[in-house]
Amino acid sequence: MKYEELSKKIIAGVGGKDNVKSVVHCTTRLRFKLKSESAAHTDELKAMDGVITVVQSGGQYQVVIGNDVADVYETLIKVGGFADGGSVPDDDDETERGNVFNRFIDFISGVFTPMLGVLCAAGMIKGFTAMFVAFNWLSENSGTYKILYSIGDGFFYFLPIILGLTAAKKLHVDQFIGMAIGMALCYPGIVALNSSTTVLTTLFSGSMFESQIHATFLGIPVVMMSYTSSVIPIILAVWFASKVQALAKRIIPTVVKTFLVPFVTLLIVVPITFLIIGPVASWLSDGISTVCVMIYNFSPLVAGVVMGAFWQVFVIFGIHWGFVAVMMANVASQGYDTVLGLSLAASFAQTGVVLGILLQTKNEKTRGIALPAFISGIFGVTEPAIYGLTLPRKRPFVLSCIASAVGGGIIGLAGTKMYMMGGMGVFSIPAAINAKTGIDGSVYGLIIAMAVAMVLGFALQMLFGRKSVDAADSKAQVQATEAEPVLAGGPVAATANGGATKIEPEVTYNTATLLSSPETGHVIPLSEVKDEVFSSGAMGKGIAIEPTDGVLYAPADGEIALVFPTGHAVGLNTSDGAEILMHIGMDTVELDGKGFETLVEKGDTVKAGQPLVNFDIEAIQAAGYPVTTPIVVTNSKNYHDVKLAFPNATEVNATEPLLQLN
């Protein structure tokens, strides 16, 4: 598998399979739900080839991959042995930590993410079909039109069934129960009742909740609503089903659970959905739509400027999922949405800035990121541009937000409406076409806004962003030099603790080497180090010392291959060909050099026993960090064995024999 090695590293980086509750992916990110985010090695993941960055937001641990995310996800699922589309059953999921807002965002994204690709595809087909009619390329009476339109419209018409599946999966409900609830809401006989001419009575007369009653259930009036294409009713119904199912499982004997649990769940949930949940949820949807329309009508220009300016910030923190839910509710209740469309210029503003960076940079690696980011941005996928280019440089990101705000304002002035959930980028244009009125000024306004945002983003970057491009590249090169030194056996990448991960070379066995102890203190097996990167042996074989004296010495003659700016880690290439990494403490990179005094620089030639680093044990421990020091032979595979010079040693003095490499 092409991405097998990367997938293994990502799984290890998020704390191992046992730390994963679930993983899904969107257009550019692997979205992990972790049992403990503190167990993940975020810095190591960020430094990993194939990973753009890591974002922790909305209760999710998001590993940004870029355009290859779907292939990486498919491989990761197989490598990790994740079942059920990336989920790991967890009986304690209901008690997960996090505030209400984070849990809401996580839930909404978990419901929509699995179907996002097909959702956009169906919207694109529906939008393009409407466009073909507007251009008189197709007739609404033709078989071609009806078949094409059924592909797009059918998905949205039966959306409650699909949401029933994804919501059930997210809430650990039997997925067929979720689908069955959605099917009941879309059942033709129920749909027909909503438009029945037979009126039994009228409830809530004279109020905004006035409802004609066309049917009863066990004598109780049923307030009929239109549930096809709806969002909130099915989600709330499945949430209620999760409670009923859990209760049924506790009460019903195991021998008959297979059929009685679904029987009881459906028999309770579906009627209550029609009697209470459905009407209340529909009124709630109408209320949300009304509030959004009020805000929009107050000033479409201001609404567009604000939405455009902050949309990319919303994407970074995952808040945009809330707007997706609002958009779906608006389309279901009033046939169109005016909110989400205000964000459609953002990807073009970002793309314009990226084009400027592409023309300005002299760095080949930056060009390698910018070109595909520019192409994907045209189609609405901006995460590679945001995380790989503009956000790290700060000013280009701000410039893109300014251009996006202008574009959003134009969209607001044009009165653009979205009639369906369509594609992204240029593919979102057909979703703004009204199937009845065709292409009008609001659609042209959207296209103009996209063009203006892109041109303005490009111009702002060319005028005001030039200095940040090469400056950022130079800084990145310095950091890469410090974090990815090339030792005799091959390159090394940074770890979570600011150390290094060896990229293994072809094995060539070296001559025997004796290493002296770089510290005075207690000898500890590497397996007992409280950091999986070291304790697992992934870095190589070695030993650890709990120091009692704050000096790190050279364990052999050689050349300094690595000195981290923070002073907590030193790499040494010995004269005999051994590659040694000495890492003072766990997570001590967070101290930013406080408590450390480096006495050597990269490239220095040193002798065995020469002091390399002075460190303040008491100050480091007072800051809450251990000083346990792994001493690792990162090219261990070049030796038959790496063992203690004195197998029973529990204490050692600096410069005394410590490790024997054969």
The total number of residues shown for the chain amounts to 662
287 token code pair: 């209320």
pLDDT at 305: 92
Q: Which of 295, 323, 358 is the last residue of a domain?
A: 295
Residue in the block written with tokens 């097996």: 525
Distance (Å, whole) CA 223 – CA 202: 9
With beta carbons less than 8 A apart as the criterion, state whether 384 and 375 touch.
no
Residue 135 lies in a domain: no
With beta carbons less than 8 A apart as the criterion, state whether 564 and 612 touch.
no
Helix, strand, or coil (residue 533): helix
462 token code pair: 């060319």
Question: pLDDT tens for residues 334-391?
Answer: 788 888 889 899 989 999 999 999 998 887 777 877 888 788 788 777 767 886 788 8
Question: Per the residue annotation, which of 25, 41, 214, 583 is the catalytic one?
Answer: 583
The CATH number of the domain holding residue 55 is: 3.30.1360.60
512 and 394 together in one domain = no
Residue 253 lies in a domain: yes
240 and 284 together in one domain = yes
612 and 465 together in one domain = no
Distance (Å, whole) CA 419 – CA 580: 62
pLDDT at 472: 45
Question: Per the residue annotation, which of 26, 120, 186, 401 is the catalytic one?
Answer: 26
pLDDT at 103: 66
pLDDT at 528: 86
291 and 311 together in one domain = no
Residue 145 lies in a domain: no
Q: Which of 429, 456, 475 is the last residue of a domain?
A: 475
224 and 200 together in one domain = yes
User: Which of 21, 133, 10 minimizes the C-alpha distance to 82?
Assistant: 21
Residue in the block written with tokens 């100050």: 619
pLDDT at 101: 57
Distance (Å, whole) CA 655 – CA 662: 19
Question: What ranges make up the beta strands (E) of 183-251?
Answer: 201-203, 211-217, 220-223
355 and 271 together in one domain = no
Alpha carbon 205 to its chain centroid, in Å, reads: 48
Q: Would residue 558 be called left, alpha or beta, if left means φ above 0 and alpha means ψ between -120 and 50 degrees?
A: left
pLDDT at 31: 84
For 80, residues 6+ apart whose C-beta sits below 8 A from its C-beta are 7, 11, 17, 20, 23
For 275, residues 6+ apart whose C-beta sits below 8 A from its C-beta are 217, 220, 222, 223
Q: Is 120 a residue of the active site?
A: no
518 and 611 together in one domain = yes
Residue 279 is which amino acid? P
Q: Which of 425, 453, 475 is the last residue of a domain?
A: 475
Question: pLDDT tens for residues 39-72?
Answer: 899 888 888 888 888 887 767 788 888 767 888 9
Residue in the block written with tokens 């890591």: 54
- Phi/psi of residue 346, nearest 5 degrees: -60, -45
Helix, strand, or coil (residue 67): coil
531 token code pair: 């950091």
Distance (Å, whole) CA 278 – CA 270: 10
Residue 20 lies in a domain: yes
Distance (Å, whole) CA 2 – CA 643: 36
Residue in the block written with tokens 């790290």: 392
- Phi/psi of residue 179, nearest 5 degrees: -65, -40
User: Which of 362, 431, 356 minimizes the C-alpha distance to 373?
Assistant: 356
Residue 136 lies in a domain: no
Q: Is 186 a residue of the active site?
A: no
Distance (Å, whole) CA 62 – CA 34: 10
With beta carbons less than 8 A apart as the criterion, state whether 565 and 594 touch.
no
pLDDT at 481: 36
Residue in the block written with tokens 């994740």: 82
The CATH number of the domain holding residue 648 is: 2.70.70.10
Alpha carbon 631 to its chain centroid, in Å, reads: 35
Half-sphere exposure of 195 (CA within 13 A, CB side): 7
Number of domains in the chain: 4
520 and 634 together in one domain = yes
288 and 215 together in one domain = yes
491 and 446 together in one domain = no
497 and 545 together in one domain = yes
Distance (Å, whole) CA 650 – CA 366: 50
Q: Is 49 exposed, middle or buried (CB count within 10 Å of its CB: 0-12, 13-18, 19+)?
A: exposed
With beta carbons less than 8 A apart as the criterion, state whether 34 and 86 touch.
no
Helix, strand, or coil (residue 651): strand
Distance (Å, whole) CA 268 – CA 272: 6
3-state DSSP percent of the chain in helix, strand and coil, to 5: 55, 15, 30
Residue 458 lies in a domain: yes
Range of the domain at 546: 484-661
Residue 132 lies in a domain: no
Residue 126 lies in a domain: no
Query: Which residue ranges in the chain fall short of pLDDT 70?
Result: 1, 26-27, 58, 67, 83-106, 109, 116, 120, 208, 285, 288-289, 292, 316-322, 383, 387, 422-423, 470-512, 532-533, 538
521 and 615 together in one domain = yes
